[in-house]
């Protein structure tokens, strides 16, 4: 398997890494298991202190870490810096709130007394994607380290320098050896690793295929899994939306991270009363985006993460057009070196056309016109995915009513689907199951242990 940095701005290889041998992997799992036996006995204060140290180091090294993100997967540098800030905030959030989240819950049984105690379960395996190399790690590692678990992390093969840098942060923060371990291995070997008895749970963010493979292996060995598998988020524009602000958020929602977000706004659904106004302004805004070197702070749209990703997205667009979709803007690879795709809008989409069902992971928006609110809801729910979605309206109660009828794990009103430490993140349907972040996220990989105290004379 190839583990290497390829700069997607130039498609030139920068650095390569060797895959770890079975002997090395076994030693690292053993080290993680050994670290767990000690870390589970540490105090919440000790755990919090470590998380704060990691957060501080992230902020101190923000410029270098952000440039590594941009080098490896093409994220615009200003957004890469924002990712480091967000990741540090997540570490601080769980350091500040973890103990309260994990406090014993007192029950009131008919006889005696009882509590629910949140206990760590052991070594956890994380399988993380390239699109947010630090944030994806943070939302998995930070809460579980606070719980008392230890972490093995297999990162995407195209961001190896990010993966190594994360492990170095923990080393510099003086984390116990084996608390956080980076694994340079293939996806195939990752699925096999799930069967290791020393690993007690798995979290994966990635494709449906990867999720199904890992979940099947975990199920075979009776292990807990959390899956976040992408989405096809809707962006519904109702007739009373503030149009100028809605268009601003539409651009951010679709083009953030060069369009490569699981929760990116991908399907734009406008009621017919305002559809022409929205699409005219949206098209104009996308056509003016500055495409270029992601290291340049003035760049608004950089390359896709890899040449393979760009080829795949261009093929999805071509197949969709061949099947009857119409191109309102773009539709082709950008005329420059690197893994670039033009800002693109597709319309005239119907069931049977590739872009109607498939997730388009890049700067391609799909646009639909519907008669009314109910038609928008029906179209929104006609998807195999169920991650997030947005509703734009000045009538907040109406927005809540629409949100309640959308079959996703998250719905935002007057804002694209997004993430922050204190909001739960996760989906339904083919977008996976389980939650990350907030209080919900810290309780996915815990043993909710009942401790009951009875009087000897209590009835059976």
**What amino acid positions are annotated as catalytic residues?**
228
Pure H helices in 221-366: 243-255, 272-287, 307-322, 354-357
Alpha carbons within 13 angstroms on the beta-carbon side of residue 352 total 5
Alpha carbons within 13 angstroms on the beta-carbon side of residue 367 total 22
Burial category of 459 from C-beta neighbours within 10 Å (exposed 0-12, middle 13-18, buried 19 and up): exposed
Number of CB atoms found within 10 A of residue 139's CB: 29
> Packing angle between helix 62-73 and helix 77-101, nearest 10 degrees?
120
For residues 421 and 225, give the distance between their C-alpha atoms in angstroms, rounded to a whole number: 21
Place of tokens 């809008």: 345
Query: Do 362 and 381 form a contact (C-beta atoms < 8 A)?
Result: no
For residues 68 and 62, give the distance between their C-alpha atoms in angstroms, rounded to a whole number: 10
Query: Do 251 and 287 form a contact (C-beta atoms < 8 A)?
Result: no
Geometric angle at alpha carbon 392, from 390 and 394, rounded to 5°: 145
DSSP 195: T
Of 238, 283, 275, 242, nearest in space to 368 by CA: 275
Of 270, 245, 285, 235, nearest in space to 417 by CA: 235
The pairs formed by 90-93 with CB atoms below 8 angstroms and a separation of 24 or more are: 90/135, 90/138, 90/139, 90/142, 90/421, 90/437, 91/51, 91/52, 91/54, 91/55, 91/58, 91/138, 91/142, 92/51, 92/52, 92/55, 93/142, 93/421, 93/422
Secondary structure of 382-396 in HEC code, one letter for each residue:
CCCEECCEEEECCCH
Of 336, 362, 257, 307, nearest in space to 8 by CA: 307
Number of CB atoms found within 10 A of residue 192's CB: 12
C-alpha distance from residue 397 to each of 101, 151, 219, 275 (Å): 31, 43, 41, 22
């Amino acid at each position: 398997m190839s583990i290497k940095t390829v700069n997607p701005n130039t498609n030139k290889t920068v650095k390569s890494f060797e895959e770890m041998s079975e002997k090395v992997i076994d030693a690292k799992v053993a080290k993680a298991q050994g670290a767990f036996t000690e870390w589970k006995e540490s105090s919440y204060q000790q755990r919090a202190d470590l998380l704060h140290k990691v957060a501080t180091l992230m902020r101190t090294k923000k410029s270098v870490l952000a440039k590594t993100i941009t080098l490896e997967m093409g994220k615009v540098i200003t957004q890469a810096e924002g990712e480091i800030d967000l990741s540090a905030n997540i570490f601080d959030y769980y350091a500040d709130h973890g103990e309260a989240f994990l406090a014993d819950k007192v029950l009131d049984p008919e006889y005696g007394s009882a509590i629910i105690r949140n206990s760590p379960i052991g070594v956890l395996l994380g399988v993380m994607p390239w699109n947010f190399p630090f944030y994806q790690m943070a939302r998995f590692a930070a809460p579980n380290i606070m719980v008392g678990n230890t972490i093995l992390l297999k990162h995407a093969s195209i961001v190896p320098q990010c993966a190594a840098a994360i492990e170095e942060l923990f080393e510099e923060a003086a984390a116990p050896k084996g608390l956080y371990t980076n694994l340079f291995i293939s996806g195939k070997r990752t699925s096999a690793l799930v069967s290791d008895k020393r690993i007690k749970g798995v979290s994966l963010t990635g494709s449906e295929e990867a999720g199904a493979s890992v979940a099947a292996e975990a199920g075979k060995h009776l292990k807990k899994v959390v899956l976040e598998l992408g989405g096809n988020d809707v962006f519904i524009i109702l007739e009373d939306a503030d149009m100028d602000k809605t268009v601003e958020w539409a651009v951010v929602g679709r083009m953030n991270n060069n369009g490569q977000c699981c929760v990116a706004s991908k399907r734009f659904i406008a009621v017919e009363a305002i559809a022409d106004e929205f699409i005219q302004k949206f098209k104009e805004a996308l056509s003016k985006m500055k495409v270029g070197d992601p290291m340049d702070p003035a760049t608004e749209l950089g390359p896709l993460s890899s040449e393979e990703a760009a080829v795949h997205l261009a093929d999805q667009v071509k197949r969709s057009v061949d099947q009857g979709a119409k191109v309102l803007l773009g539709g082709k690879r950008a005329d420059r070196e690197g893994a670039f795709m033009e800002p693109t809008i597709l319309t005239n989409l119907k069931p049977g056309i590739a872009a109607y069902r498939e997730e388009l992971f890049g700067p391609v928006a799909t646009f639909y016109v519907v008669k009314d609110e109910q038609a928008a809801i029906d179209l929104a729910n006609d998807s195999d995915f169920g991650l997030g979605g947005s509703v734009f309206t000045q009538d907040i109660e109406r927005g809540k009513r629409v949100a309640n009828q959308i079959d996703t794990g998250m719905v935002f009103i007057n804002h694209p689907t997004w993430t922050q430490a204190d909001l739960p993140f996760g989906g339904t349907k083919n977008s996976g199951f389980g939650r990350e972040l907030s209080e919900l996220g810290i309780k996915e990989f815990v043993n909710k242990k009942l401790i009951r105290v009875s009087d000897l004379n209590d009835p059976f």
